[in-house]
Structure 1
Amino acid sequence: MNQYISLNSWAGPDTDHAAFRLATIFALSQKEAEQIVKQVSKGIPWRFADPLDSLNAGNVDRYLSTQGFAVELIPTDAQTATQTADYEDPEYATAGMGDNGQAMHDDALDAGDYGDSPADTLLDEEFDDVPPADTLDEAPVPTGPQKVYRVEFRGVGGELFRIIFVNTLLTILTLGIYSFWAKTKVRRYTLEHTSFNKDYFSYHGTGGELFRGAAFFSIILIVLGAAGTALQMYLGPGSREVVEPALGLMFLLLIPALMVGAYRYRLTRTSLRNIRFSFRGKRGQAMLNYFVGYMMTLFTVGLYYPFFLAKIKNFWVGNSHFGNQTFHYTGQGKDIFSKFLLFVLLFVPTAGLNIPWWQAYMSRYNWGHTHFGSGSFKFTATGWEMFKLQFGNLLILLFTLGIGYAWVLCRQQQFLATHLSFEGAIDMNRVIQDMQKSGVISEGGLDALDIPLDFG
């Protein structure tokens, strides 16, 4: 039985503390949560938009009650309203908490500030202490009849063009400073016009966050550059051939760490049904995976590359979460090895025109081996369809001198939505909030180095 959470009143000593706890549970901004606390403290009820299953509703009831809220559980089915009396049974209350409810309660109690102060953004070191995914509690996902969940994109090239046009003017007028807000607006438009099973995504990032992250990272680059120059002066003129390659290698090794931070930022700023996504992979593991993968690929003259692709894909997917549940990747390098060899052998004879067929195959394979709950994703695009998309996009950009970029972006999103679906049995109401905080310095670092966020 699903139930709505209604907050009828609040009585407590600390409004900010109560608002923070409320924001943690329902993925609200601090300002939104503060307004809700003020509202219910005046006796004006507030109800969460989406219903929860009985177990999670009971967990939320018990936790918010300890924070001074008067919580009411409203059954979605009036005929089963009498079942809510079960919450008064002490034995049920103890059993109903479960590992998931306790984890949610403990996470909320241990949560820190979600702002982006320098202490939060400084290299985001605290996230490297997040436990691996297999140690996290997950809500059970029921098995049942297979259902197809569709992805849809409702964006329009004309609307996005107007946004990009204004963004371009403001970026020029501000000498590039507005580019961070411009990027955020485009990202918000594409996400908030994309739906999964009729539920639209939301994007919570801001241009100010990206600006602060890039500014802080730029300061780090300046300091490191100055340190490198000072070291060359100290060691003498002949040290340049040693110092500069060493600094370049250090930056190369740090790229995977920046990618982790950037991906973590983007996921924590993305939500579906008021539930945030998160990434819990460690920077050190990413650096090790990429270093070993590059070295093995080099030593095997490229033969290790398919195994490297599968390994890093497992890292990115396996550490991605939606609420309190994780994604899983089951792909293996041996499965794609023969296709990779065929791609390499045909690359020169086809003058590289076989790239779209390789990309389509890898997309079908990777999505098909990405699982959530008891279901998995499915991607149906063929190489010919991928080629037509890319060739068409190229023609649009060439003949419009880049003005048609908005339509190209919409074509790409529409292509993905048309060919992507999810098949399985999943109860979205069993996915509960499990907030993870994230800074923005790594996202700014990628912008500063002009590194695309692509995970193979």
Structure 2
Amino acid sequence: MSNQQPQVNGTDLPSKSTAYYRVNFTGQAGEYFKIWIVNIALSIVTLGIYSAWAKVRTQQYFHTNTLINGTGFQYHGQPLNILKGRIIAVVLFVLYSFAVNSVPIIALPVMLIFVIALPWIVIRALAFNARMTSFRGIRFNFEASYGEAFQIVLLWPLLIIVTFGLIIPLIKHKYYEFVINHSSMGTTSFRYNGKISEMFIIYLIAMAIAAGISTAMMIIGMVFALFAGLASAADESSALMIWLASSGASIVIVLYLALYLLMWAFIKTKTTNLIFNNLTLDEHRFYADLNFSQMAIIQFTNTLAIIFSLGLAYPWAAIRMTRYQACCIQVIVSDNLDNIIAGEIKKVGALGDEAAGIFDVELAI
């Protein structure tokens, strides 16, 4: 990966000395496979109870192996707190199912209560995930009002139906803006300055990709149907018709998989670049240069490996994708990183641990 200085959107960088730190991920497939397989086995044996410990082990591994200037992130989530949240979610689901089946008339009121509570649940979940993460002793944070979450979680998505999905880029823009602008590292807030038009362009190109592959799928299907019809009219053997039908179906399935993977890779690549290239932390900036074709190749080969290994290649695929995405991200610090961290620690003082303890239960959503 090139270490050349990126061209960053926005105004000129501050006059202070600028330091560029490329993010590095040092996780290894073999190490993660051991964690992953043990997590699955113990979660099955304990009927899901160990899944809380499994999540903590996984998060700790990925956090500590994601490095900036040689220092990894830390994950502070506690398994018992995560387990409490999951138990609460399961109990509420069981009570809801029992109540609805026993007294159907209460189904609508109960569902309405859940819908009303959903923005609050989202805030709690985002706050928990942020406050359980730290870098060099500085905890991240997330704070937002119920009204703001209500718009993002419930109000804007309602427009998807009436706009036939055309409003999805706007919703994605609003969501990233909501999450980033209410997040902070210690006392310093993140800011997102991306344009709505840029998000619309990403989705318009993705739709063009989908339209092209869909057209190819239709043409191939029609061609094989035509040959099958000609074979039938000529009283050819049924084996030939079966072969034509199965071949056509196989090609359509492969093209459908390619369509999904290409759209995912394109949207993931472009939105990640858009977000990081318009992300700031005070006067410090970020830069991402993910490549669409590289992402598509990694995702396609990862998917094939997982399919043909019956899932056993998942750890290798996860490590491979994470390593590529991490190495394509730079942190652009308008000063020395050590000075920034030291100053932030002084501002935060003793508030960090207390704030993190407020949201000590992860709510499952």
Question: Is TM-score (shorter-chain normalized) higher than 0.5?
Answer: yes
- What TM-score do the two structures reach when normalised by structure 2? 0.74
Alignment counterpart, residue 439 of structure 1, candidates 350, 355, 359: 359
Residue 445 of structure 1 aligns with an amino acid whose one-letter code is A
Q: What is the deviation of 1:371?
A: 0.8
Is 1:212 matched up with 2:84?
yes
Is 1:152 matched up with 2:72?
no
**What RMSD, in angstroms, separates the aligned Cα atoms of the two structures?**
2.4
Please tell me whether the aligned partners of residues 202 and 271 of structure 2 are also in contact (alpha carbons under 8 angstroms).
no
Alignment counterpart, residue 153 of structure 2, candidates 284, 290, 311: 290
Query: Structure 1 regions of 5+ residues with no counterpart?
Result: 1-141, 233-238, 447-456
Q: What is the deviation of 1:258?
A: 2.6
For 1:337 and 1:264, how far apart are their aligned partners in 2?
28
Q: Please give the secondary structure, in 1, of the residue aligned with 2:24.
A: strand
Aligned pairs (5 A) from 1:77-88: none
Query: Structure 2 regions of 5+ residues with no counterpart?
Result: 1-13, 215-258
For 2:294 and 2:138, how far apart are their aligned partners in 1?
33
For 2:302 and 2:360, how far apart are their aligned partners in 1?
31
Q: Deviations over 1:390-442 (max 9, x none)?
A: 1121122122211122112211220121101112404222213342234354x
Alignment counterpart, residue 288 of structure 2, candidates 355, 379, 382: 379
Structure with larger RCO (C-alpha < 8 A, sep 6+): 2
Aligned pairs (5 A) from 1:45-56: none
Aligned pairs (5 A) from 1:144-293: 144-229=16-101, 231-232=103-104, 239=105, 244=107, 247-248=110-111, 251=114, 254-293=117-156
- What TM-score do the two structures reach when normalised by structure 1? 0.60
Q: Counterpart of 1:429?
A: 342
Residue 188 of structure 1 aligns with an amino acid whose one-letter code is Q
Q: Counterpart of 1:303?
A: 166
Q: Please give the secondary structure, in 2, of the residue aligned with 1:431.
A: helix
Size of the aligned set, in residue pairs, is: 296
Q: Counterpart of 1:102?
A: none
Aligned pairs (5 A) from 1:69-80: none
Q: Counterpart of 2:254?
A: none
- Against the structure 1 CA distance between its residues 319 and 221, is the aligned structure 2 distance closer, same or farther, given a 3 Å change threshold? same
Please tell me whether the aligned partners of residues 275 and 322 of structure 1 are also in contact (alpha carbons under 8 angstroms).
yes
Q: Please give the secondary structure, in 2, of the residue aligned with 1:411.
A: helix
Please tell me whether the aligned partners of residues 262 and 440 of structure 1 are also in contact (alpha carbons under 8 angstroms).
no
Q: Counterpart of 1:413?
A: 322
Q: Please give the secondary structure, in 2, of the residue aligned with 1:348.
A: helix
Q: Counterpart of 1:369?
A: 278
Q: Deviations over 1:175-234 (max 9, x none)?
A: 2211111111011111111112222111111211111111122223333344444543xx
Residue 189 of structure 2 aligns with an amino acid whose one-letter code is T
Please tell me whether the aligned partners of residues 184 and 190 of structure 2 are also in contact (alpha carbons under 8 angstroms).
yes
Q: Counterpart of 2:183?
A: 320
Q: Deviations over 1:272-305 (max 9, x none)?
A: 1111111112344212222221123332223322
Query: How high is the sequence identity, in percent, across the aligned residues?
Result: 25
Please tell me whether the aligned partners of residues 309 and 333 of structure 1 are also in contact (alpha carbons under 8 angstroms).
no
Q: Deviations over 1:58-105 (max 9, x none)?
A: xxxxxxxxxxxxxxxxxxxxxxxxxxxxxxxxxxxxxxxxxxxxxxxx
Is 1:401 matched up with 2:314?
no
